[in-house]
């Protein structure tokens, strides 16, 4: 004896009524990161929104160098060349580390700077 669901499916097939297609979840939004190394060589990659510049750069052949990954050493500093508005806000800790090391307050710590939209291009001072 067919189940009620099996009966419904048979009736839909008999009258040519198709089930509504299940919509696929949209892919997560992506952002683009370009890193210019100290030698001027550019490398680019895509990353998920919310990834840090440092974690996104790990997909590159030569990633950005890092030390603490806690925004205290300044090893991962970068100069933003394009798309500064496409990064998350600086944290107080990030501003303090830049100041303590005598770096430009416009620079970012790639271990803290989050990619929030579109495209960002940075100059890295140290690569692995
Ligand atoms: S790795 Fe040390 S500040 Fe980013």
DSSP per-residue string spanning 40-82: S-EEEEEEETT-BHHHHHTTSSSPBP-S-SSSSS-TTEEEEEE
Indicate whether 2 belongs to any domain: no
The total domain count for the chain is 1
State how far the Cα of 109 lies from the Cα of 93, in Å rounded to an integer.
Answer: 10
- Tokens standing for 21? 């297609």
Q: What is the CATH number of the domain that holds 87?
A: 3.10.20.30
* Residue 52 CB less than 6 A away from ligand 1: no
Domain-located, residue 5:
no
**Ligand 1 atom with least separation from CA of 97:** 3
Q: Which of 19-28, 30-39, 91-100 has the lowest mean pLDDT?
A: 19-28
3-state DSSP assignment of residue 5: helix
Instruction: Using alpha carbons only, give the angle 73, 123, 68 rounded to the nearest 5 degrees.
Output: 20
Nearest ligand 1 atom to the CA of 111 is 4
Closest to 33 (Cα-Cα) out of 16, 51, 15, 17: 51
Which pTM was predicted? 0.79
Instruction: Please check whether residue 8 lies inside any domain of the structure.
Output: no
Residue 67 Cβ inside 6 Å of ligand 1? The answer reads yes
Q: Which of 57, 63, 64, 67 to probe ligand 1 with, by most ligand atoms within 8 A of CB?
A: 67
State the residue range of the domain holding 36: 29-124
- pLDDT tens for each residue of 53-93: 999 999 999 999 999 988 999 999 999 999 999 999 999 99
């Amino acid at each position: 004896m067919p189940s009620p669901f099996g009966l419904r499916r048979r009736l839909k097939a008999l009258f040519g009524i198709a089930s509504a297609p299940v919509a696929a979840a949209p892919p997560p939004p992506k952002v683009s990161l370009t890193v210019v190394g100290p030698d001027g060589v550019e490398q680019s990659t895509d990353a998920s929104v919310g990834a840090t510049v440092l974690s996104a750069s790990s997909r590159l052949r030569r990633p950005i160098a890092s030390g603490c990954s806690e925004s205290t050493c300044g090893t991962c500093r970068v100069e933003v060349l394009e798309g500064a508005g496409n990064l998350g806000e600086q944290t107080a800790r990030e501003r303090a580390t830049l100041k303590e090391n005598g770096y430009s307050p416009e620079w970012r710590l790639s271990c803290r700077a989050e990619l929030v939209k579109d495209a960002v291009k940075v100059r890295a001072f140290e690569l692995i």
